[in-house]
Chain A
Amino acid sequence: MICVLEGFYQTNIIYRTIHGSLSGLMPCWSATIVTGIMFSLFLVNIFLVSTALMTWGERRLLGRFQTRVGPNRWGPFGLLQPIADLISLLFKENLIPRGSDKILFIVVPILIMMPVIMVLGVIPLAPGVALADLNVGVLYILAITSVSSLGIFIAGWSSNNRFAIFGAVRGVAVLISYEVPVVISLLGIVIISGSMSLLDIVEAQAIPFLMVQPMGLLVFFIGSSAEMNRTPFDIAEAESEIIAGFHTEFSGIKFAIIQAAEYGAMIVTSAIIAIVFLGGWSGPLPEYLGWFWILIKVLVCVFVFTWVRATLPRLRIDQIMAFCWKGLLPMSLINLLAVVIETFILKGPNGQLSVADLWIMCVINTIITVCTVIVLNKLISNKVDPLRSGSKILSQRELLLDGQGD
């Protein structure tokens, strides 16, 4: 068997280096497998380290937003806090509530964390460097991330706790509702770049798709922050209503894994936004510093996510559902319609979009986005906010009746 790398893997620097040093020591197929394992461990390390830093960073940022200090005791600026947390949680007693499904209860943290790590497999870290360059990359991401809704539901199912089931049912309802606009918002990107591979999408961004697809970014940002159960949409784990939602009964290391998956999902989503909408490694820096440029974009996204969490109060479930089905879904469909028509008119005879075409689309789509947001705001704010519409405010009895059916 000849030990030659093909296509994508020839340009992949990390892969080529590891494979090259290993292929002298062992047969070709095992060198490939070991390379894959090492690359996967590399990705997992990126995930775990960035998640640990994220738990610290978000707590510090939230502290600053709320004019307090945040964790600052252990290590410089409190940087060793996540390690202290991990050790503390490792040594906590393993509590499994009576009447729960013991096997599923232990499987849940694994099931929640696995899809988040698996998404990293197709995300390019630098020009030409990714674990795999799937030609269905976008679809793969959308398919894998929706597995976590299964984890959330099994968490509620196995806990034998009323609040956990409340949280699980709410969480799944929010997740599946926001899945639809998110999936449609990425269609515009696929149409313009003509490919679902993330590397091709980055190559296609002569100008960042943030400008060509402002509404797509808006819908994707809101929808994905709902899918991650971040604060404006976190009714699945609303502390003031249902304790901690689907992970009420989880403690110790299982709780740590679920939290890590949640913060890691934010990193992964920020990476997707940086790759798909913000232009990936393209920037003023030279190409060999592409990874650094991606990192900056990811950090900007993470900051915006934290900012949104610190600013907005939690919505009610009817507001969340109305916002999804009556706000985001029409927005994403209008975006799709606009992109389809523009692309059809502007595309050249060979089915190519030039940079000038992208700029025209940028102008038109920005105008459409602003108009749509204004119009939908007028239409929806009356429905969502009864105080502003002047419609009757729910009486105490109606609220009680409403709460029973939750």
Chain B
Amino acid sequence: MPVEYSVQYGMIGILAVVATAIPTSLILISWSLEKIGRRPKNPTDVKSDPYECGMEAIGGPWHKFNFKYYMYAILFVIFDVEVIFLYPWAVKFLDLSLFALIEMFVFVGILLIGLMYAWRKKDLEWR
């Protein structure tokens, strides 16, 4: 069994290498076309401006963002971690007893209270 596991994850590793190599090779082909003079290369000052609908950009790209993004990020972390705990439980659920069921209700319930609190506090509204 362990040998087969290592073969399978090795296959995934090989696929990762190939999947990285394909877009890299496309970029390299395009780059080599430039080296043999088939792809134009004449950068000008105006051409390398950041695009701003034809105007000159005023100020840098970074500015203030709505703090709502931060609230959603926190909610996401909470729920995603919760789900990672739920997956092993779900795989074995057919063999588990009533205790596991109730325990998971308590676990999800606590997080649901958190969601309801966020909802009540209008953290899910966009303003």
Contact = CB atoms under 8 A, between A and B. Distances in A.
Contacts of A106: 27
Most buried by B among A44, A256, A340: A340
Contacts of B40: 93
B43 A95 contact: yes
A355 interface: no
Interface stretch (A31-39, A76-84, A281-289, A364-372): A31-39
Interface string A108-152: 011001100110111000000001111000111000000000000
B4 A9 contact: yes
B49 A97 contact: yes
A8 B94 contact: no
A114 B12 CA distance: 12
Contact of B94 (A113, A163, A248, A351): A351
Contacts of B4: 6-9
A169 to B, nearest CB: 6
Nearest to A317: B126
Interface residues of A, number: 90
Given A91-B39, A160-B61, A161-B50, A132 B91 contact: no
B11 A39 contact: yes
Contacts of A96: 48
Nearest to B45: A98
A180 interface: yes
Nearest to A98: B48
Contacts of A134: 8-9, 12
A110 B4 CA distance: 30
Contacts of B11: 36, 39-40, 121, 131-132
B76 interface: yes
Interface string B21-53: 011101101110110001111110001111111
Chain A contact residues, majority secondary structure:
helix
Given A97-B48, A317-B126, A343-B94, A118 B39 contact: no
Interface of B: 1, 3-4, 7-12, 14-20, 22-24, 26-27, 29-31, 33-34, 38-43, 47-53, 57, 60-66, 68-69, 72-73, 75-76, 79-80, 83, 86-87, 90-95, 98, 101, 104, 108, 112, 115, 119, 124-127
Given A9-B7, A340-B93, A351-B95, 19 more contacts: A6-B7, A90-B30, A92-B39, A94-B31, A97-B50, A98-B48, A98-B50, A113-B19, A118-B19, A121-B11, A121-B12, A131-B11, A132-B9, A132-B11, A161-B51, A162-B52, A257-B26, A321-B124, A322-B126
10 contacts: A7-B1, A39-B11, A44-B22, A90-B39, A93-B40, A118-B12, A131-B11, A140-B12, A162-B63, A190-B90
The 9 closest A-B pairs by CB, nearest first: A318-B126, A117-B19, A351-B94, A40-B18, A36-B14, A132-B8, A253-B30, A176-B76, A405-B66
Interface of A: 6-9, 32-33, 36-37, 39-41, 43-44, 48, 90-100, 106, 109-110, 113-114, 117-118, 120-122, 131-134, 138-140, 159-165, 169, 173, 176-177, 179-180, 183-184, 187, 190-191, 194-196, 243, 248-249, 252-254, 256-257, 317-318, 321-322, 325-326, 329, 333, 336, 340, 343-344, 347, 351-353, 402, 405-406
